[in-house]
Each structure stands twice: as C-alpha cells, then as structure tokens.
A and B are shown apart, each in its own frame.
Chain A
Amino acid sequence: MNIENLTTIQQSVKETLDIRAGIAAGHKRNVLICGGTGCTSSGSVKIHDAMQKALEERGISDEVKVIQTGCFGLCANGPIMIVYPEGTFYTHVSVDDVDEIVNEHLVGGKEVERLLHKEKTASGNVEPTSLSESQFYKKQHRVALRNCGFIDPENIDEYIGRDGYRAIAKVLNEMEPQQVIDEMKKSGLRGRGGGGFPTGLKWQFAADQPKGKKYVVCNADEGDPGAFMDRSILEGDPHAIIEAMEIAGYAVGADEGYIYVRAEYPIAVHRLQVAIKQAHEKGLLGNNILGTDFNFDITLRLGAGAFVCGEETALLTSIEGHRGEPRPRPPFPAVKGLFGKPTMNNNVETYANVAQIILNGADWYASMGTEKSKGTKVFALGGKITNTGLVEVPMGTTLREIIEEIGGGVPNGKKFKAAQTGGPSGGCIPAELIDTPIDYDNLTAIGCMMGSGGLIVMDEDNCMVDIAKFYLEFTVDESCGKCTPCRVGIVRLLETLEKITDGRGELEDLDKLEELCNYIKSGSLCGLGQTAPNPVLSTLRFFRDEYVAHVVDKKCPAHVCKNLMQYIIDDNKCVGCKMCSKGCPADAIHVNDGAVVKEGKKLPYLVIDQSKCVKCGACIATCKFKAIYKS
C-alpha cells in the first residue's frame, strides 16, 4: 500500500459517494439505513435485510445499493432511511414498510409520503423536510461526525474515499513528530473526555519521555448515563480513530495502541474489529505502514462495566487486568502509565478530530469555537426534548440554540427548567442561563462541566433534588471504593438527600451537605469522587428554594418525591368508570360510601386511600378523562 493505491481506491468509490453528497445524479440509487445502536434496537437491521431481499426478488439489487451506516443523530425518529440521489428522508420506518418503499419509490419512482420526515416550517405548516433542511441538521457543523451516517463503516474503501488515511500518509511523508505535536497544540484541541486538557500538551509530555516502549491509548469507555457520542463515532467511523491513534503513535514514539471500549457497545466493538482487520489487510495498520518504516498495531480491550474506568489511571489499571481502581498521580501516565511505560491517552471524540486537523490545518480548526475552546463539540441530547439524538456544533453555541432550534424544544407544551451537562460529574444549567455560550470555561464558571457531552433536558415535572439523588445513586453504585471520601462520603450525601426527599430533612442538613460536598471534592483520589458532589452543589446553587420546599414545607414542587406528593381524583372530571380502581396494583382506589349526591352525581364517587397508595402512577395512565392529578 502506498499513496497511489489510496488514490485508486478513492476513485473507485467516488461515484457512489458523490451520489450521496448530491454532487452526482447517476441513475443508481443509494439507500442508507441507520445502523447505530438506537435504530438497531428498533429494528433497522431487519429493515436492511428485508430491503436487500426485496431488491433481489425484483432483480434490481444492482441498481440500488443498500448501506447500513452509523448513526445519523436523530435517534428519536428512528429507524431512519435516506434514499439518494433524491435525498428522501424517511423516519420511523418499520420492516412492514419495506415493500411499499421498494414498490412505490425504488421501482415506481414515487416517494412514500406518509413516511417522509416532517417538520414545522417557518410558515407554521408541518411539511416534509429533507435531511439537510431540517432544523436538527441546519445548525450543526460536523467534524467528528462527518462520516457518521454517510459511509458504510464496515467498508474501508468508503473511508478512504473520504480522504481517509491521507492524514497519516501526510504525517509519515511530510512531517516530523514534533511538527505533528505543534500542529495539535496550535489547533487548540482540548480533551473531549471531560477535563478539557490541551491535547497537544498531552502529546508533548509523552513525546518528551526517553525513547523506548510507549503506548497510545484510546479511552472508549464512555460511561456517562445519557452520553453516546463516542459510541456513535465508533459505530459510524471506526477508521478515523485508528488513523488518529497512528498519528499519535508517530508523534509520541509509540508502536502499540490499546482501545478500551465498553463491552456494552457490541456494534461498536464489531465495527472496530472489522476496521482493524481491514486496515491490516490493506497495509494501513501493523508493520511498515504505507510502505514506511513506521510500525503501529492496535489491541482491542473490552471494558467490563465500571464507570470509574473512564478515569485515565483506572482505565490503565483495568487494561493491566486488575480491579479498575485509580492510582495517585504523580507519576503521571505520560511518565509511568500502562505496564509502567509512558502512555498517552485520549478519548474517542478527541481522536475523531485529529486527522481533520492534520489535513485541513490547525488554523482551520482554530477558526471554529471560542477563544479558549476551539473546534466543535458533540452533544447527546436526551431527556425532555423533542429531537433526542446526537448533535455537533461549534463551541460557543448557546444552550438555547441547541435546545430550542436543533433539539426542537421541550415537548408536550412543558416549560424548560434546566439542562444537565457532564452527567454525574456535571451540574445543571438553569433556564435563566439558557443563553450561555457553551464552552469549557463558561460551564466551569457556573459549576458545571463539559464532561463527555451528555446534555439532559429537564422540564417542570423534574424535581431537582430527585435529579441530584439520581446522579448520586449512580456514583455510589460506580464508586470503586478505594478512597474514603468517595466510598463513604457520597453514601452519606445520598442518605441526606433521601432524608430530604422522604420529608425528614432539616435546614441544617443543607449546610452539612455543602460541607461534605466540598470535602469530597478536595479530598477524593480521582476525578469520579472529585466531581461526584457537583450535581448536588449545582442544584443547591440554582434550585435552593426547591430544597427548602422539601425541608421546610415538606412539599415537592414538581410532585416527584413520593412521600411529599399525593394522587387526587378531581370530582369534577371523574365520570365513575372505575378503570383506575381496576388498574390499581395496591387496591387503593374505592367507591366512596359516604358520597353525597350533587348535581345528579355521587361525589366524590371514587377516592384514593392515601395509606395504601404506592404512588406508582398507574391510575393517571389509565384514566381517560384526565381526572387524576398530583398534588
């Protein structure tokens, strides 16, 4: 394999990629079906197979190329299918729709109207909207996700067709290792895994160690609940990570890499395995890459379900085959890392930017973003938002743009209350700060954290004490148990929150919470413990009144905390159908014997026995007359 070979391969896939890019209009069609985890779990693989079969039966499988891609991002509307060159954007496709799509569209040439993606347009009408015109995509700027949902991730030729492995070719043929590092520094890229440490500096530290065995590691142990950007990149563009690790290896002087990926990501693992194999076969990984004397190989290691392994030193300990417990620094991994050797570790999204920086230049990259946070950032939108999914925007985009424009706002007419970033390590951004431009420093300034990019939207029905409790339950579960502040401290935090949500809280508990939070932050061994109190501190800061309502008034304003709320039947709306009573698992709803007749109706006809009610909410779900409410 050499550069000429790369060009040959690139030309061989040019036509099909051009069709998808809307540059060429050939008669051959490309049908792209999302093969990300979200769409897969709603049946997209079956759709792909059924489509292939249907095309073969009709003898047009040569005319239409069916491709299972990585994630498109708009997970809420999956499974997603796009037909090129028309660019027809189908959402919520099911396997039963395949015949209709083939007959009407692929054979008959007429789009299936009912499956077209529709959005409210400027005129207020709901109309079919193409992918590129959709609100969801319009404001995005895709660097890390550039190939996701565009290429077949299991076909290395398509990656090469998108200038893949050009960056490592450039580096090997035209650049000294130090030049590569300088380029990374100049780009301003910062670690996308949470801390935001300058990537170029990290590379420099590892490069500065004496020559000898060194390792390059890719942290793909994405563990924040609600974050799935790394997974989508691995599923949609695995070669980008392999190429970036090679570049890093060349820059720091390492010949071996480890990718530590969550075992809970079977599709990502599979695509990485395929990609590593293909890269090997093409001479793009292993010995004498691209005919040079540069050797680099990658071993895949599967995580085994421990959030703490996202912490750098715990990850290394885990690769070494031990309990994933962090170790104190110094020594830093750059000096003494994996198996005691200098080790450079970046996360998936960080690597996903590397080849683009090399190809387009540091200046291009640094032109995006804010002063201290360059480039783009991928966010996983979740929670109470219309467009659940994955978005990539330049640093500095405001929360409002992300939630209201790209995310389509909060559904069901509810009011936006707060967004949570950084998962269990992060904090909440309240509605009044919705115009904050999102970058590392702005988030830190308001007690939040970029984290890996999970962005969970909450509406008025979410109780902020409950949310803090949820994240603490997570960190309590995931604490490794090595250091005292984290092992015992966050349990005591959680117990205090439970006391508050149970209605047993006292005002002095709030001070005790703060005192303990501050100690755990400063006293814990690793990032997990040091950031675990953030959800509590952040909600205490912005939603203290909600805590006070729980403690003083013994009320949960959002009607979430079971001990502080009741289900009530509204006399005026209840028609006496008894559906709620039948559906009640606790047998807590009865006909009221003492009811009086009022306006021809026995009222109250049904009542909830609060001593029996388990607050499961089944009655609200069954009542067709919306006669039950929370108080």
Chain B
Amino acid sequence: MKKKLTSVTFNDSAEKREKLLAVIEEYKGKEGNLLPVLQKAQEIYGYLPPEVQKTVALGLEVPEAEVFGVASFYAQFKLNPDGDIAIAVCLGTACYVKGSGQLADKVTEIVGLHPGETTSDGKYSFEATRCIGACGLAPVMTVNGDVYGRLTPADVAGIIRKYQ
C-alpha cells in the first residue's frame, strides 16, 4: 500500500488548531498515544496533511518520520481529504464475489481516480474499502456515506450523477 501525498492545499483554522493542540495536551506523556492522537487529528481535519502530522510530532516529541511512518501504514489514515463527492466501493469478500471489482473499475473510468486519490480541486475522491458490513446488499458502493446495494456497473454513472 503506497499512500499518495495530497495535492490539495491545506486549509487551517484557529479553531481546528486549538482543538488539535488540546488533544495533544490531553495525551502528552501517555503510553501509546500516537494512534489515538492521529485519529482525533483526523476527526478534526478530515485527513492528515503534513502540517498536521508535523504539529503532532512536535507536540508528542516523536520524530516526524515516525509519525509519517504510522500515518502511511494504517489504511484508516487519510493523507488526502474526502472530495465533495466521496465515492467508496466495498471490496470485501461478499461484495467481491458478486462483482464489486467491476464497480470499482467503472468508478475509475468515470472520475479518473484510482482508490486513495482525490482530484486536486477537491471535487471527487475515491476509496476502496474493506467490508462495510452490508454483505446482505452486496455488491455495495457508498457516496458521501449513502449506501447503494445490489449494483451492476451500469448503475454507477447514474448514482454519481445524482450528486453533481
């Protein structure tokens, strides 16, 4: 798994930054604090741009490279922000055996993104997820959190169009 660094410009706010610093303060000195702090940082910012990771590194006194090493290891950590239209296709077993691989190909064809990418204008993002638990509806894709099940590749374009 190679994570792509973002091309979307970082947009900080005093309010978010304050929240992040408060989280760092809360966890500072506690054992095993890096993951929970990164998870909360992602809750605050929606993703983990280098600027945020750097703040965490300084705050927790962990080398930057180690923070980046952790952020790039776990699938949950996003180095790219969600697009305005955030598309995800489940590639869990149940979905896969029912053809979700073809759904993913279709999404790539339509929005020109591979899983893990966000267009630099921030409009679309595309993720391939593991089982999201909707196996009864396989194959499944989600757009901005809305679940669409029992799909064929022909349904994909229509679903994305609804969000444009």
A and B touching (Cβ–Cβ under 8 A): yes
| Chain A residues, Cβ within 8 Å of B34 | 321-322
Q: Is the CB of B154 within 8 A of A622?
A: yes
Cα separation A584 to B140 with both chains bound (whole Å): 22
Tell which of B5-13, B15-23, B70-78 binds the partner: B70-78
Interface residues of A in 610-629 (CB under 8 A from B): 616-618, 621-622
B93 at the interface (CB under 8 A from A): yes
The closest CB in chain B to the CB of A74 belongs to B136
B99 at the interface (CB under 8 A from A): yes
Cα separation A462 to B98 with both chains bound (whole Å): 10
Q: Is the CB of A76 within 8 A of B154?
A: no
- Picked from B33, B93, B136, the residue with its CB within 8 Å of the CB of A78 is B136
Q: A226-B93, A264-B76, A306-B73 are in contact. Are A42 and B109 (CB under 8 A)?
A: no
Q: A38-B136, A225-B130, A304-B77 are in contact. Are A585 and B94 (CB under 8 A)?
A: no
Q: Is the CB of A322 within 8 A of B70?
A: yes
The closest CB in chain A to the CB of B30 belongs to A321
Q: Is the CB of A304 within 8 A of B131?
A: no
| Chain B residues, Cβ within 8 Å of A583 | 154
A383 at the interface (CB under 8 A from B): yes
A223 at the interface (CB under 8 A from B): yes
Q: How far is the CB of A545 from chain B (nearest CB, A)?
A: 21
Q: A37-B133, A42-B149, A228-B131 are in contact. Are A618 and B97 (CB under 8 A)?
A: no
Cα separation A42 to B99 with both chains bound (whole Å): 20
The closest CB in chain B to the CB of A267 belongs to B133
Q: Is the CB of B135 within 8 A of A388?
A: yes
Q: A306-B75, A321-B70 are in contact. Are A617 and B102 (CB under 8 A)?
A: yes
Q: How far is the CB of B63 from chain A (nearest CB, A)?
A: 12
Q: How far is the CB of A619 from chain B (nearest CB, A)?
A: 10
Q: Is the CB of A306 within 8 A of B136?
A: no
Q: How far is the CB of A559 from chain B (nearest CB, A)?
A: 13
Q: Is the CB of A339 within 8 A of B31?
A: yes
Q: Is the CB of B32 within 8 A of A339?
A: yes
- Picked from B32, B75, B91, B130, the residue with its CB within 8 Å of the CB of A320 is B32
Cα separation A450 to B50 with both chains bound (whole Å): 42
Q: How far is the CB of B46 from chain A (nearest CB, A)?
A: 15
| Chain B residues, Cβ within 8 Å of A77 | 136
- Picked from A324, A388, A389, A458, the residue with its CB within 8 Å of the CB of B74 is A324
Q: A228-B133, A320-B31, A618-B153 are in contact. Are A302 and B92 (CB under 8 A)?
A: no
A604 at the interface (CB under 8 A from B): no
Q: A78-B136, A320-B31 are in contact. Are A305 and B76 (CB under 8 A)?
A: yes
| Chain B residues, Cβ within 8 Å of A435 | none
A47 at the interface (CB under 8 A from B): no
The closest CB in chain B to the CB of A323 belongs to B73
Cα separation A100 to B76 with both chains bound (whole Å): 42
Q: Is the CB of A454 within 8 A of B154?
A: no
Cα separation A618 to B32 with both chains bound (whole Å): 49
A181 at the interface (CB under 8 A from B): no
The closest CB in chain A to the CB of B154 belongs to A618
Cα separation A304 to B131 with both chains bound (whole Å): 14
A377 at the interface (CB under 8 A from B): no
B85 at the interface (CB under 8 A from A): no
Q: How far is the CB of B14 from chain A (nearest CB, A)?
A: 27
| Chain A residues, Cβ within 8 Å of B73 | 306, 323-324, 480
Q: Is the CB of B99 within 8 A of A617?
A: yes
Q: Is the CB of A470 within 8 A of B132?
A: no
Interface residues of A in 476-521 (CB under 8 A from B): 477, 480
Cα separation A223 to B97 with both chains bound (whole Å): 17
The closest CB in chain B to the CB of A620 belongs to B152
- Picked from B130, B136, B140, B152, the residue with its CB within 8 Å of the CB of A264 is B130
B105 at the interface (CB under 8 A from A): yes
The total number of A-B Cβ pairs within 8 Å is 140
A301 at the interface (CB under 8 A from B): yes
Q: Is the CB of A456 within 8 A of B154?
A: no
Interface residues of A in 326-381 (CB under 8 A from B): 339, 380
Q: Is the CB of B74 within 8 A of A228?
A: no
Q: How far is the CB of B48 from chain A (nearest CB, A)?
A: 11
B58 at the interface (CB under 8 A from A): no
Q: A305-B74, A320-B32, A323-B70 are in contact. Are A470 and B133 (CB under 8 A)?
A: no
B147 at the interface (CB under 8 A from A): yes
Q: How far is the CB of A433 from chain B (nearest CB, A)?
A: 20
| Chain B residues, Cβ within 8 Å of A318 | 35
Q: Is the CB of A38 within 8 A of B76?
A: no
| Chain A residues, Cβ within 8 Å of B94 | 225-226, 382-383, 388, 456
Q: Is the CB of B133 within 8 A of A263?
A: no
Interface string of B117-140 (1 = CB under 8 A from A): 000000000000111111111001
Cα separation A41 to B31 with both chains bound (whole Å): 36
B39 at the interface (CB under 8 A from A): yes
Q: A37-B134, A225-B131, A320-B31 are in contact. Are A304 and B39 (CB under 8 A)?
A: yes
A75 at the interface (CB under 8 A from B): yes
Interface residues of B in 39-77 (CB under 8 A from A): 39, 66, 69-70, 73-77
Q: How far is the CB of B124 from chain A (nearest CB, A)?
A: 19
Q: Is the CB of A301 within 8 A of B36?
A: yes
A319 at the interface (CB under 8 A from B): yes
Most buried by A among B69, B76, B147: B76
Q: A306-B75, A320-B31 are in contact. Are A621 and B70 (CB under 8 A)?
A: no
Interface string of A290-322 (1 = CB under 8 A from B): 000000000001111110000000000011111
Footprint of A on B, CB under 8 Å? 1, 31-36, 38-39, 66, 69-70, 73-77, 91-94, 96-97, 99, 102, 105-106, 109, 129-137, 140, 147, 149, 152-154
The 4 residue pairs across chains A and B that have the minimum distance between CB atoms: A305-B75, A37-B133, A304-B74, A226-B93
Give 8 pairs: A residue, B residue, CB < 8 Å, sorted on A.
A41-B132, A41-B149, A264-B130, A305-B76, A305-B130, A616-B153, A617-B152, A621-B154
> Given A226-B131, A263-B39, A323-B74, 19 more contacts at CB 8 Å?
A41-B133, A41-B137, A41-B149, A42-B149, A77-B136, A225-B94, A226-B93, A228-B133, A228-B135, A301-B36, A305-B130, A319-B32, A321-B31, A321-B35, A339-B32, A380-B135, A382-B93, A480-B73, A616-B102
